Amino acid sequence: MKFALHFGNNTFPAPEDAKRVAQLAEAAGFDSIFTVEHVVWPTNYSSVYPYGPTGRLPGNPSTRMPDPLIWMAYVAAVTTRLRLMTAVVILPQRNPLVLAKEVATLDYMSGGRIELGIGVGWLKEEFAALGVPFERRGKRTDEYVAAMRALWAGDDASFAGEFVNFSGVSCNPKPLRGSVPIVVGGHSEAAAKRAGRLGDGFFPSIGAQVDVMPLLDVVRRTAEAAGRDPKAVELITGCPGALPDSGIDPRAAVEERIKRGVGRVALPLRAFMPNLEEGLQRFGETVIRPFANA
């Protein structure tokens, strides 16, 4: 079992704080830190935020939310083992060739420690501000994944689709291990099916206002139907029972996730505050290390 910390870039946006939390997480034995994304925050919006009970983004338009890739690049430079993942980057809002270049470069420079968590997005007003169609964003996402993988796979790459077309182009450097793992995020059956069809992992985001555990079976069934090994799709979930002061034995809560096939547990950083150093160290000693040594 691996353990991740979520909401790195918006919980610790300042450089000195980002460095501190990353080095503490690495020392405690955490596998990875996740980042989130919104390019712009509309002052007024009617779209419903699906990952909190209020239906509104936590914070306000002045909340600092550094670009996830740039924050990850900074953190990668001050760590040696910690993996870094977007959870998620809103893929249909980005140019897939530019993103493929950025992610491959970051993976190359970090020694192969990058994962690309992707989502289709929910904030319609943000799409409008960026001049990107909100409609058919799922189809656009699927195509962008295929286009990026084509660029990573080799030189003289070509791709012909509805939204992306290129012929005979090369994009270097390549990811250190030939590709960057793509983890599909989301709380819907469509997201679970996308993960089963084409994802290296599935992360039903923390705080979804639905029971996401049945989606794990959707991932497995879809992978099998697509001729893939379901075990090749890493399942990443939250684990409320593992949170500090939950009143539940954290190791028992993690064991329950293992029985469900979960390979990585993601916990929000704020759960370890205000005594961050003590909280992360204690979790490493009492939860992470026992599972690592099991």
Residue range 221-257, pLDDT digits in tens: 999 999 999 999 999 999 999 999 888 999 999 999 9
Peptide bond into 204 cis (omega under 30): no
Beta bridge partners of 4: 32, 266
The number of helix segments (H) and strand segments (E) in the chain equals 11, 10
pLDDT of 210 reads 83
pLDDT of 206 reads 83
| CA pair distance 160, 162, nearest whole angstrom | 7
Query: Closest Cα partner for 68 from 80, 83, 85?
Result: 85
pLDDT of 209 reads 81
What is the signed CA dihedral for 166, 167, 170, 175, rounded to 10 degrees?
60
Q: How far is CA 95 from CA 72, 110, 143, 166, in A?
A: 19, 22, 11, 13
Largest Cα span, the chain: 58
* Domain that residue 70 falls in: 2-292
- In tens, the pLDDT along 168-186 reads 999 999 999 999 999 999 9
CA triplet 212, 217, 221: central angle to 5 degrees?
A: 140
Helices 68-77 & 15-28 angle (0-180, nearest 10): 60
Q: What CATH number is given to the structural domain containing 211?
A: 3.20.20.30
| CA pair distance 110, 177, nearest whole angstrom | 12
Please check whether residue 215 is in contact with residue 189, taking contact to mean a CB–CB distance below 8 angstroms.
yes
Exposure class string for 20-47: b at 16+ Cβ within 10 A, else e: ebbebbbebbbbbbbbbbbeebbeeeeb
Q: Which two tokens stand for residue 139?
A: 């189809």
Total structural domains in the chain? 1
Ranges under pLDDT 50 in the chain: none
pTM: 0.97
Q: Which two tokens stand for residue 59?
A: 């914070």
